[in-house]
């Protein structure tokens, strides 16, 4: 009975294990299907590739595994561990029936693997595989010896300067050459002597390179020399008995190792954060660059890249160094290719790749291929896309105009196609920006100068105006092109099309004044008078609009100060008791953002260009009013301009109501009058090419001035003064009577809307 129960227990356990294995297999199959689906829709998912390959290895799906690895390799460089695993999987399948083909396939895997990253261990695996599986190398046939030596030399070029691990390759090379010596005929003294010299030469090279096992290498070399009959103390670490050049090279390498010991210790420490190790690598690289040995610098960069393969800054630093030292070296092409594969999202690397290919006289096919690959990537800023398109056009232009041997099919049509793709791709994101203007201006210039097609050049400008007609610089660029080419009538026609348009800031006035200057320089008297006839009413209209806007701002500021308890429009009315309670117990969101009245610290207005910033109230008691400001200037430019004055608080750049662009006006708050007076003293100084006008802001109208209208308050009423009070809207109310001046003439009476309209339409009146 006990034996029967035991047998039943075993059967039950076996059945349970079988069910568990079946369940695991089903779960794995489902997971692999899910990963395959994910990769079909999102092939750039690195982690999904890794998991999919791992799952296929567990299931032993070797054919699918090869396909999966090749698919990942097409998109990403593989780590040395991945290549090692791949090669070992293939080695396990080597059979006598397809032996030679299998060896060749695995060799190609190793070749591809050592080209991705610097790896001493992968090179050692590769060399061991060749010596074991390649029959010509294993049997030390002449062809096999040459093949192995070539491979060893390549390995030393790649990793021989590796301070921590490079000795493994040197020792493997020496062992191989010693094996050749031992296989030689004892009677062939001449051949054996040459081989002894070859082994000694490799020892000498190894001793002249700083590495961590230098003393051990010296002892091994002295033992070797003793075996060859030379009298040396093989147990002493001194250089006594060695030839002078070997001893000198060894001592120099030992000093170099001492200088690098601390750097090596820091980059090999594994229990520190990656950021700290990265900084240690950068400090080490700076030291190596100061030593002036490009080979050592390159080797250290490769070590750093292996540790931090997706650091865009490191790749940029690496390629910058190589561009300075190697320039057109053929090895740079492989490095740029690896850089863009590791960090495809860094636009600067693609730009440098294209410039390298042009500098090294790469073919149009190569340049086109790199350009097309770059457009498949996703960059963090739109400027990177612009830079890539312009770099491509730059190269095409230079090769068309200056190349001695022109590639077939390289002409203006290729440039035109590149520009058109740039506009189609970037226009939605670049509308009304200087970058879009730069692209079209460059395009039009090349159509005219390279393509000799003025109609095509005009078509480029017209396409820009269609999408960015409110951009003053677009019209100015178009007019400038026509003027430079001597097409005066065409330029005049453009002025007639745009002088009445509304541009941001002072752009409307600028284009009107530009037309007048144009006719002074190029037009007849009739042309000049016609331009004046068109422009003068427009300038008067613009001046009136500016005055009205300024008057509204003054009135709004005054009313808010006189009636601080004014309710927000649309707010429900409250009883007087409720309002009093609310005023006593609550604080508005706007007031919460303001400093206390007696607090002299500066206040910074954040994000003044937001479409709907939170409304703040300002008293302008210690404020400078800045005009004629460059339209591209921002708050930081102004803060830097007044940095020598100090005490800068809030900065408010006034924006156009419709375009949300700067109007060229700004208010700058200061902490006290001393700093404000110092700021006003900077009046007429230049900022970004414009001479600023700086005056103290006067919200209460205390300053007297004959040229502008001002507003003062008396008993809660608005009082207007100045010769330009005729332009103040009548909605502000009639000003009180003023005392007559010494000449007997009183202040000018504000005109009605009808009188104002007649004044503006009167063509015989003087332009304002």
The three-point CA angle 123-124-125 to 5° equals 90
The three-point CA angle 518-520-521 to 5° equals 70
Hey, what are 607's tokens? 């994000």
> Which CATH architecture fits 26-262?
Alpha Horseshoe (1.25)
Confidence category of residue 471, pLDDT binned at 50, 70, 90? very high
What is the tens place of the pLDDT at every residue in 429-468? 888 899 999 999 999 999 999 999 999 999 999 999 998 8
Helix (H) or strand (E) holding 116: helix 99-116
Report whether pLDDT(645) > 70: yes
The three-point CA angle 218-223-226 to 5° equals 125
Is the CB of residue 531 less than 8 Å from the CB of residue 523? yes
User: CA–CA separation, 635 vs 658, rounded Å?
Assistant: 20
Confidence category of residue 550, pLDDT binned at 50, 70, 90? confident
Average pLDDT over residues 565-572: 45
Confidence category of residue 61, pLDDT binned at 50, 70, 90? confident
Contacts of 98 (CB under 8 A, 6+ apart): none
Is the CB of residue 698 less than 8 Å from the CB of residue 710? yes
Q: Which fold has domain 602-698?
A: Alpha-Beta Plaits (3.30.70)
Average pLDDT over residues 318-337: 86
What region, left, alpha or beta, does residue 615 occupy, with left being phi > 0 and alpha being psi -120 to 50 degrees? beta
Is the CB of residue 148 less than 8 Å from the CB of residue 165? no
- Which residues belong to CATH 3.30.70.330 in the chain? 602-698
Give the residue, 122 or 428, on which the prediction is more confident.
122
pLDDT at residue 599, as a whole number = 41
Rg from Cα positions in the chain:
40
Is the CB of residue 470 less than 8 Å from the CB of residue 508? no
User: How far is Cα of residue 195 from the mean position of the Cα atoms in its chain?
Assistant: 55
pLDDT at residue 477, as a whole number = 95
Report whether pLDDT(532) > 90: yes
Give the residue, 61 or 371, on which the prediction is more confident.
371
Q: Which of 562, 613, 622, 621 is nearest to 589 (CA)?
A: 613
Strand, helix or coil for residue 687: strand
User: CA–CA separation, 734 vs 543, rounded Å?
Assistant: 22
pLDDT at residue 415, as a whole number = 94
What is the tens place of the pLDDT at every residue in 134-167? 989 999 999 999 999 999 999 999 999 999 999 9
Please give, one letter per residue, the 3-state secondary structure of 20-76: HHHHHHHHHHHHHHHHHHHHHHCCCCHHHHHHHHHHHHHHCCHHHHHHHHHHHHHHC
Average pLDDT over residues 680-684: 90
Q: Which of 686, 630, 676 is nearest to 649 (CA)?
A: 676
Give the residue, 248 or 577, on which the prediction is more confident.
248
Alpha helices in 586-702 (DSSP H): 589-592, 635-641, 673-680
Contacts of 454 (CB under 8 A, 6+ apart): 447, 448, 485
Is the CB of residue 692 less than 8 Å from the CB of residue 628? yes
Is the CB of residue 651 less than 8 Å from the CB of residue 635? yes
Strand, helix or coil for residue 314: helix
Bridge-based pairing state of the strands 690-691 and 662-670: unpaired
User: CA–CA separation, 103 vs 203, rounded Å?
Assistant: 31
User: CA–CA separation, 664 vs 564, rounded Å?
Assistant: 29
Strand, helix or coil for residue 696: strand
What is the tens place of the pLDDT at every residue in 755-766? 545 554 454 344
Report whether pLDDT(351) > 60: yes
User: How far is Cα of residue 1 from the mean position of the Cα atoms in its chain?
Assistant: 80
Q: Give the range among 122-126, 492-496, 582-586 with minimum mean pLDDT.
A: 582-586
Alpha helices in 469-524 (DSSP H): 472-484, 488-498, 507-522
List, as own/partner pairs, every contact residues 313-322 make where C-beta atoms lie below 8 angstroms and the sequence separation is at least 24, other chains included: 314/278, 315/339, 315/342, 315/343, 315/346, 315/349, 316/346, 316/348, 316/349, 316/352, 317/282, 317/285, 319/349, 319/352, 321/289, 321/297, 322/298
pLDDT at residue 226, as a whole number = 84
Average pLDDT over residues 411-415: 90
User: CA–CA separation, 524 vs 529, rounded Å?
Assistant: 9
Hey, what are 131's tokens? 């010596």
Q: Which of 612, 616, 588 is nearest to 604 (CA)?
A: 616
Report whether pLDDT(709) > 70: no
User: CA–CA separation, 100 vs 280, rounded Å?
Assistant: 46
Residue reference for tokens 């002072």: 506
pLDDT at residue 69, as a whole number = 93
Bridge-based pairing state of the strands 686-687 and 662-670: unpaired
User: CA–CA separation, 363 vs 584, rounded Å?
Assistant: 78
Give the residue, 439 or 222, on which the prediction is more confident.
439
Q: Which of 76, 67, 13 is nearest to 342 (CA)?
A: 76
User: Residue 637, class by beta-carbon neighbours within 10 Å (0-12 exposed, 13-18 middle, 19+ buried)?
Assistant: middle
Helix (H) or strand (E) holding 506: none
Q: Give the range among 270-284, 550-564, 613-627, 644-658 with minimum mean pLDDT.
A: 550-564
- Which residues belong to CATH 1.25.40.10 in the chain? 26-262
Is the CB of residue 731 less than 8 Å from the CB of residue 719? no
Report whether pLDDT(581) > 90: no
Report in angstroms the alpha-carbon separations of 495 from 175, 476, 498, 519: 84, 9, 5, 10
Hey, what are 600's tokens? 């002299």
Helix-helix angle 525-562:753-761, to 10 degrees: 160
pLDDT at residue 580, as a whole number = 40
Question: Helix (H) and strand (E) counts for the chain?
Answer: 31, 8
Is the CB of residue 694 less than 8 Å from the CB of residue 686? no
Is the CB of residue 751 less than 8 Å from the CB of residue 726? yes
* pTM to 2 decimal places: 0.67
Report in angstroms the alpha-carbon separations of 493 from 481, 517, 532, 648: 13, 15, 15, 47
Residue reference for tokens 């149009």: 364
């Amino acid at each position: 009975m006990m034996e029967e129960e035991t047998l039943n227990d075993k059967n039950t356990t076996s059945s349970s294990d079988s069910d568990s294995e079946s369940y695991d297999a089903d779960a794995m199959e489902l997971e692999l299907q899910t990963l395959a689906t994910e990769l079909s829709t999102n092939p750039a998912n690195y982690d999904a590739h890794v998991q999919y390959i791992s799952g296929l290895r567990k299931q032993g799906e070797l054919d699918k595994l090869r396909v999966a690895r090749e698919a990942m390799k097409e998109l990403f460089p593989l780590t040395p561990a991945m290549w090692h695993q791949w090669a070992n999987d293939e080695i396990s399948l080597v059979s006598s029936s397809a032996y030679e083909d299998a060896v060749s396939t695995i060799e190609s895997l190793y070749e591809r693997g050592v080209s991705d990253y610097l790896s001493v261990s992968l090179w050692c695996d590769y060399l061991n595989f060749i010596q074991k599986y390649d029959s010509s190398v294993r049997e030390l046939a002449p062809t096999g010896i040459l093949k192995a030596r070539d491979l060893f030399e390549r390995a030393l070029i790649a990793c021989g300067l590796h301070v921590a691990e490079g000795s493994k390759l040197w020792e493997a090379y020496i062992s191989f050459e010693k094996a050749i010596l031992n296989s030689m005929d004892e009677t062939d003294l001449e051949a054996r002597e040459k081989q002894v010299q070859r082994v000694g030469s490799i020892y000498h090279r190894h001793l002249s390179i700083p590495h961590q096992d230098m003393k051990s290498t010296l002892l091994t070399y002295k033992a070797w020399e003793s075996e060859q009959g030379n009298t040396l103390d093989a147990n002493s670490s001194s250089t006594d008995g060695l030839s002078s050049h070997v001893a000198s090279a060894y001592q120099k390498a030992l000093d170099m190792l001492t200088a690098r010991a601390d750097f090596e210790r820091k980059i090999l420490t594994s229990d520190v954060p990656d950021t700290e190790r990265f900084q240690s690598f950068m400090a080490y690289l700076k030291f190596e660059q100061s030593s002036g040995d490009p080979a050592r610098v390159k080797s250290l960069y490769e070590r750093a890249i292996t540790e931090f393969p997706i650091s865009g800054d490191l790749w940029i630093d690496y390629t910058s160094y190589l561009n300075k030292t190697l320039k057109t070296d053929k090895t740079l092409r492989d490095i740029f290719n690896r850089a863009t594969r590791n960090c495809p999202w860094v636009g600067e690397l693609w730009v440098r790749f294209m410039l390298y290919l042009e500098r090294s006289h790469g073919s149009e096919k190569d340049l086109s291929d790199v350009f097309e690959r770059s457009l498949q990537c996703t960059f963090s800023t739109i400027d990177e896309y612009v830079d890539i398109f312009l770099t491509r056009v730059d190269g095409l232009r230079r090769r068309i105009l200056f190349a001695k041997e022109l590639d077939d099919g390289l002409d203006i049509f290729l440039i035109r196609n590149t520009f058109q793709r740039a506009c189609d791709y970037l226009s939605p994101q670049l509308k009304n920006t200087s970058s879009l203007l730069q692209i079209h201006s460059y395009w039009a210039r090349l159509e005219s100068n390279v393509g000799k097609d003025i109609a095509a050049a005009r078509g480029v400008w017209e396409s820009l105006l269609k999408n960015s007609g409110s951009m003053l610089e677009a019209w100015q660029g178009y007019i400038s092109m026509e003027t430079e080419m001597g097409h005066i009538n065409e330029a005049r026609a453009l002025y007639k099309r745009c002088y009445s348009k509304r541009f941001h800031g002072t752009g409307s006035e600028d284009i009107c004044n530009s037309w007048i200057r144009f006719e002074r320089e190029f037009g007849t008297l009739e042309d000049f008078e016609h331009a004046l006839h068109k422009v003068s009413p427009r300038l008067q209209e613009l001046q009136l609009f500016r005055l009205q806007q300024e008057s509204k701002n003054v009135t709004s500021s005054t009313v808010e100060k006189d009636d601080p308890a004014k309710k927000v429009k649309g707010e429900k009315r409250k009883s007087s008791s409720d309002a009093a309670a609310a005023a006593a117990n609550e604080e508005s969101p706007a007031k919460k953002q303001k400093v206390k009245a007696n607090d002299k610290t500066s206040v910074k207005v954040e994000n003044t260009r937001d479409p709907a910033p939170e409304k703040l109230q300002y008293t302008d008691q210690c404020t400078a009013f800045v005009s004629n400001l460059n339209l591209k200037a921002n708050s930081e430019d102004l803060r830097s301009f007044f940095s020598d004055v100090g005490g800068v608080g809030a900065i408010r750049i006034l924006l156009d109501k419709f375009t949300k662009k700067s109007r060229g006006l700004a208010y700058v708050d200061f902490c006290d009058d001393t700093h404000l007076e110092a700021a006003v003293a900077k009046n007429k100084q230049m900022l970004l090419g414009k001479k600023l006008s700086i005056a103290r802001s006067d919200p209460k109208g205390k300053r007297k001035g004959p040229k502008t209208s001002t507003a003062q308050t008396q008993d809660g009423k608005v009082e207007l003064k100045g010769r330009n009070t005729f332009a103040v809207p009548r909605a502000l109310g009639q000003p009180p009577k003023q005392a007559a001046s010494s000449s007997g003439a009183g202040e000018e009476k504000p005109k009605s809307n009808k009188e104002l309209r007649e004044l503006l339409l009167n063509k015989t009146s003087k332009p304002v």
